[in-house]
Structures are given as structure tokens and as C-alpha cells.
Amino acid sequence: MSKARLVRIYLMEAGDHLHALLEKLRSQETLRGVTVFRGIAGFGDSGKLHAASLVDLSLELPVVVEFFDTPQRVEQILAHLADDLPAGHVISWDVELND
Amino acid sequence: MSKARLVRIYLMEAGDHLHALLEKLRSQETLRGVTVFRGIAGFGDSGKLHAASLVDLSLELPVVVEFFDTPQRVEQILAHLADDLPAGHVISWDVELND
Amino acid sequence: MSKARLVRIYLMEAGDHLHALLEKLRSQETLRGVTVFRGIAGFGDSGKLHAASLVDLSLELPVVVEFFDTPQRVEQILAHLADDLPAGHVISWDVELND
């Protein structure tokens, strides 16, 4: 067991943030796996509901980018990404990693 | 950085709980973004497996409703929602928010 | 409120790990609900990006298996599963359960 830190970043799929963020994360060679999840519905500061339907190909859906690494590494990465991330959309917390 | 609290609520997509819950959460004006994720498989107390296939349009799939806010606000919201939530399906924990 | 522990296990959908893991988890009678989520994109140790497109039926996508239970029960289950799980792909942390 070792200590790690998990990060979740909440974005909209349609924005420029997602692509730029993934490229930056991919360039972090030592970073552990990154996973992107798409929500089926969500609403943000506007209160407007965004929902997927079977025929909905819109990109107005929420996505979450998740990754974990050592706490020190996560701190560095978040500092490196600070300019690319919308304020109030990034959370992190300590976890235990089975290694 | 500020302290926040993340909530995950586990429901079935087909139930009445999901719709009622989202309406209630949407009416909480100060709440930060809410995101709904659909699982591709899951099983609950019954032990019965629910899984999505390419042709499966059933709603017997697990969903998770996730949101975060200040710890005080989360406590208020969960108290407000208590009657609408099935027992044992709501978890929460402290996180740090980059703001 | 009671103390619980949440586990997230990161796998690829195509591997043998997922099916074997779900069967083992299902046989744990007292375990609370298990949910499987599929990512829409991800990259692991290789740095190779795996992404879903509308016509992509490949199984080279990341999945996360998530469950929670009492801390003692989670410890037992992870010990029981240790041989089936790839190292460095399992994280867990303490949460509060509304029950």
C-alpha cells in the first residue's frame, strides 16, 4: 500500500479544455493512467440541464477526466495545468494505492 | 484551495428516485454542478447482474448522481433529500477544491 | 451515518481481469452493490490513447469497477482478490455512508 492522490476534473465535452488537457496529461510521462468518463446528464452554474438521448449526438455533455499519482506528482501536475483549467472544476483527495 | 465535500448517490435508472432527485437538486440554486453517470453493469442487494449490451435499451442499469459543494451546504442538501433517498445508497467524503 | 470504504479498480474492458473479477465479487454475498463504468477515452502505462468513437466497437476501453462496504469487509475482499488484480490499479479510501 502506498499513498496516492486522485484527481477529478469536470468539463464539458464540447469545450476546448478537454482536448488541450488530455494532450498535456499525455505528455506527463510518469503519470499513471488517465481515464475520461462521459456523464449522461448534468447541469452546471447556469442551472440548464444537459441530457443525452438515444439520438443525441451533441457534445453538450459533462465529462470527467480522472487520474491518480503520488501526492507530490499530482501537486506538480495541477500547478502545470493551472492556466488550462476552469476555476472550481478540479477536486482531489488522498487515497491508498494497492501496489 | 478550499475544502469541499463530494457526494455519490447510487440508483437504478428505471426507478422514480432519479428523476425526483435531479429535480430537487436543480432547485438548489447555489449547488455546484451535478453530473449523472451510467454504469454498464452492476448488481445490488439481490445479487442479480444488470448489464448493458449493444441492443439493450432497458433502463435496468445503475446510475450514479455526483455533486460537490461546501461541507455545510452538502449537509443541508442531504438532510433536505433524506426522504427521497434509499438508505445505504449515499456516500460522501471530503475533498479539496482548486478555486 | 457509518464509516465505509470505497474501492475503484481500473481495468481494460478487453482483458480477462474484468469478467473474473465480477464473478468473484458477485460471489461475495454480503457485499454492497457493485457498479462498472466504461470510460470514453484513456491511456495507461504505454501512453497510447484509447478512445471511443461512434463506430468503435472495440473493447480497448478503460473500465472502472466500483464498490463499497465496511472497511473490514473491503480489506478482506481485496486480500481475497489480490491474485486477480494487476498491481497499481486498485485504489480505496474512507467515506461516510448515509444509512
Q: Write out pLDDT tens, residues A21-80.
A: 888 888 775 676 789 999 988 876 555 666 655 444 455 688 999 999 999 999 999 998
99 residues of chain C, pLDDT tens digit each? 899 999 999 998 877 788 888 888 887 756 767 899 999 888 765 556 666 554 444 556 889 999 999 999 999 999 988 888 888 899 999 999 998
Closest CA to C13 of C75, C56, C69, C68: C56
Q: Is the pLDDT of residue B37 over 50?
A: yes
* CATH number reported for the structural domain that contains residue C85 in this entry: 3.30.70.120
Q: Is the pLDDT of residue B47 over 90?
A: no
CB-nearest partner of B6 from A47, A82, A91: A91
Total domains, chain A:
1
Q: What is the ipTM of this complex?
A: 0.85
Report the gap between the CA of B78 and the closest CA in chain C (Å): 9
* Among B6, B7, B38, B40, the residue to mutate for chain C (most C Cβ within 10 A): B40
Q: Convert the pLDDT of each residue in B70-86 to its tens digit.
A: 999 999 999 988 888 88
* Residue A4 φ/ψ region, left for φ over 0, alpha for ψ in the -120 to 50 degree band, beta for the rest: beta
> Could you tell me which residue, B91 or C30, shows the higher pLDDT?
B91
Q: Where are the extended beta strands (E) located within C23-87?
A: 34-38, 41-43, 49-51, 62-69
Q: Say if CB A97 and CB A33 are below 8 A apart.
A: no
Collect all residues of chain B within an 8 Å Cβ-Cβ radius of residue A62.
33, 35
What span, in angstroms and rounded, lies between the C-alpha atoms of C90 and C93?
A: 11
The range of the structural domain enclosing residue A60 comes to 2-97
Neighbours of chain A (3+ CB pairs under 8 A): B, C
Q: Which residue in chain B has the smallest CA separation from A88?
A: B99
CB-nearest partner of A43 from B34, B38, B68: B34
